Every structure is written in C-alpha cells, then in structure tokens.
Amino acid sequence: MKQLKVILGKRTYPINIGSRIIQKDNIFFPLKSGNQAMLVTNKTLANLFKDKILFYLRKAGIKIDQIIISDGEQHKTLNEMELVISALLEKQHTRDTTLIALGGGVIGDLTGFVASVYQRGVSFIQIPTTLLAQVDASIGGKTSVNHLLGKNMIGSFWQPSSVIIDIDFLTTLPRNQLVSGIAEVIKYAIIFDKEFFYWLEDNIEKILSLDHNSVSYCIKKCCEFKSKLVSSDERENNLRSLLNLGHTYGHAIEAHAGYGSWLHGEAISVGMVMAARTSKKLGYLKESDFIRIVNLLKRSFLPITGPKNMSASSYIPYMMRDKKVIAGDIRLVLPLSIGKVKVYSNIDKNVILTAIKDSQ
C-alpha cells in the first residue's frame, strides 16, 4: 500500500492506494471501534461490494447503517440528498457520525455535500470505485449536486477524513466507465507533465487492459498532482482552477444533453478538444501538439466531437453560468503546449463558437 497526504493543517488527511487494502487493519481511519457511521452507495455497487465493505466495517467494531440511493448522474440532486439526510435522522445519527461514500463521482459528491451540511458538518470517508473518482473526484473536498440549469451549481468545499483507493474495484468497472476515467488522467498530463503524457502514449493500451503496474502508477501520479494542488489552493482561488481544462465546454454538454446521457469523462474529452482548438485558433497551441492530444483521446476510445443535436450557440448560456465566469466574462483554461496551460479571459466569442463548430 502507498500513502499520500493532502496537507491542510489540522484537516490533513491520507490517500491510501493499493490492492485489497479494504481488509487492512485501521484502513477506515479515523473510525474506531464503537464509532457510528452510515454507508452511502447505489444499487449497482450494493450488489457488487456492499456486503464485503459492511463485513470489514463490522469486523472493526463500527456501528454501521446503510442507505442505497439511485444510480447515475441524473440522480445527483437535492431530492436524493434529502433521502440520505432522512436516513441519518431516522437512524439517530449525531454530530460524531461519519458518512462513507462507496462509489464513483456522483456518490462521492453527494455524500460529501450531505456531510458538509448535516448538523452543520460531520466527517466523511471516500471509497472511490471508478477510475475517474480514484484519480480526481474523491480528492480535494469539492462536493455538490446538480441543477437543471448547470452542473455542480449547489455545493461546498468539505474535505474527507481519508480516501481509500482499492484498485481491485476497477476489475468490475464497465468498459465505458473505465474509458471515461482516462479522460481525467489525460487532462492531468496536458496540464502538468509532458513526460507523463508521453508515458500515456506508450502505455494507454496497458491501462485499458487494467495492467496492474500501469494502473497503479497512473493513479498514484494523478493523486500526487491533485494532492499538491489542493494543499496549496484548497478553494480554487488560483492554481487549482487549472484542473478545469475542458470542463467549461464539457459541463455544457452534460447539462444540455441531460445528466447521465453523456458520462463526465466523455464530455470532458470533447471539452478538451474544444479548448485545444480554441488555443490553436488564438495562435497559442502548435498544430503538432493539438494532433497528439486528439490522437491520444481517440486511442483511448473517447469521443472527440460534440453532440450532433447541440448547436455551437447553445453552449454559450451554459458557459456563461460557469463558476469561473467573472463580471460576465467567460474564463477558459487553454493548453499552451503539452504540459502547460493558462487561464484566459476576454476571448472573442466568435473564436469560441468557431472552435465548437469545428469540433462537431
């Protein structure tokens, strides 16, 4: 097992990465024998993993309750959140309880948001089961639910007490979910590390086939990037905003298509192509780097074109509601080269619209 830490003073927490680590002693830190906890998962994951997780929690002496919520991005809502809060109240969970999120980004985001508001804040533990959640969503304390008019518009910053990344969960992951997670991996490489991007070019087939060493290296690398950024910029006032590469466009696709129609990573893949194309049109990104980015996404079986039934102009209202917008000005994270990105504002909307049209 490898351990990283997100350094946030008294709120510092560990990220444990390994195989079969769920059965290790004290893995559910900071929970101790006699503590109260609530496991939150969805119907699909309950059938696969719930009994195993409950077994090890009870073995550790944890007083554990459970709630199974609906599966899918379309259920990341205030209504579903209220079901979790009702279960906590019905089971008489107090301020010293701990929520345990067993699932992908939807479960992690929703459970974390409940933890941030239940009785004005309780602890929660992330047990991410998808590649996307393991490399990105489970780390950093961004919690939220969706609104019909925009993705992740209702939420808070609330850090977990620990993150438990068991690579074995990925063996049951549907192929499209695995591919979706690779989009976030490629995102990290484009933003921070051209050598990691080159490594992905050489090893993408191994990751897709779940080669243990390749997947372990990949997850650890992304967690290192994320933990350092969160430690230095917890509330996204500066460098952490770079992680939104492709997200302004991608969130527009998710909201317009209807949550769950496109997987998050699929939408972000197209968003990164649109961001790269915008940068190329502005004269920042070289054609050769643009081609490498698109080719790696294609080799990962990720989409590189937007929905055919979504016009370029229909992206703009969603993009104007993006959380990075300041004083009515769209701010975009654009790649300057592989391994280097920058936030830009005052971009000509015609350039943005043309980049979107050329990516459809």
Query: Are 194 and 331 contained in the same domain?
Result: yes
Return the percentage of the chain with pLDDT > 70, whole number.
100
Residue 93 annotated to the active site: no
**Active-site choice (187, 221, 256, 264):** 264
Q: How far is CA 69 from CA 79, 130, 135, 264, in A?
A: 11, 17, 23, 19
Residue 331 annotated to the active site: no
pLDDT confidence of residue 327: 65
Residue 354 CB neighbours (<10 A): 15
**355, two tokens:** 């980049």
**239, two tokens:** 């460098």
pLDDT digits (tens, 9 = 90+) for 93-135: 999 999 999 999 999 999 999 999 999 999 999 999 999 999 9
Cα–Cα distance for residue pair 149/131, rounded to 1 Å: 27
Task: Taking residues 329-356, report their average pLDDT.
Answer: 94
Q: Which of 152, 172, 192 is the last residue of a domain?
A: 172
Query: Are 93 and 226 contained in the same domain?
Result: no
Query: Are 111 and 72 contained in the same domain?
Result: yes
Q: Which of 128, 146, 172 is the last residue of a domain?
A: 172
Task: Taking residues 239-261, report their average pLDDT.
Answer: 92
Q: Give the global pTM.
A: 0.94
Signed CA dihedral, 177, 179, 182, 187: sign only: negative
Q: Is the Cβ–Cβ distance between 310 and 298 less than 8 Å?
A: no
Query: Are 294 and 322 contained in the same domain?
Result: yes
Which residues are 125's β-sheet partners?
100, 162
pLDDT digits (tens, 9 = 90+) for 264-282: 999 999 999 999 999 999 9
Return the percentage of the chain with pLDDT > 90, whole number.
90
Q: Which residues, including other chains, have CB under 8 Å from residue 49's CB and lie 6 or more apart?
A: 41, 102, 129, 169
Q: Which of 143, 172, 201 is the last residue of a domain?
A: 172
**Active-site choice (93, 142, 187, 292):** 142
Q: Which domain holds residue 37?
A: 2-172
- Using omega within 30 degrees of 0 as the cis cutoff, is the peptide bond preceding 303 cis? no
Strands 123-128 and 150-157: unpaired
Q: Report the domain count for the chain.
A: 2
Query: Are 208 and 331 contained in the same domain?
Result: yes
Supply the CATH number for residue 231's domain. 1.20.1090.10
Q: Which amino acid is at 279?
A: S
Query: Are 218 and 289 contained in the same domain?
Result: yes
Residue 82 annotated to the active site: no
Residue 212 annotated to the active site: no
Q: How confident is the model at residue 149 (pLDDT cuts 50, 70, 90)?
A: confident
Query: Are 334 and 270 contained in the same domain?
Result: yes
**Active-site choice (187, 226, 277, 280):** 226
Query: Are 190 and 337 contained in the same domain?
Result: yes
Residue 120 annotated to the active site: yes
Which residues are 334's β-sheet partners?
342
**194, two tokens:** 């051209």
pLDDT digits (tens, 9 = 90+) for 191-233: 999 999 999 999 999 999 999 999 999 999 999 999 999 999 9
Supply the CATH number for residue 85's domain. 3.40.50.1970
Query: Are 13 and 160 contained in the same domain?
Result: yes
Query: Are 179 and 163 contained in the same domain?
Result: no
- What distance lies between CA 114 and its chain's CA centroid? 17
Query: Are 121 and 54 contained in the same domain?
Result: yes
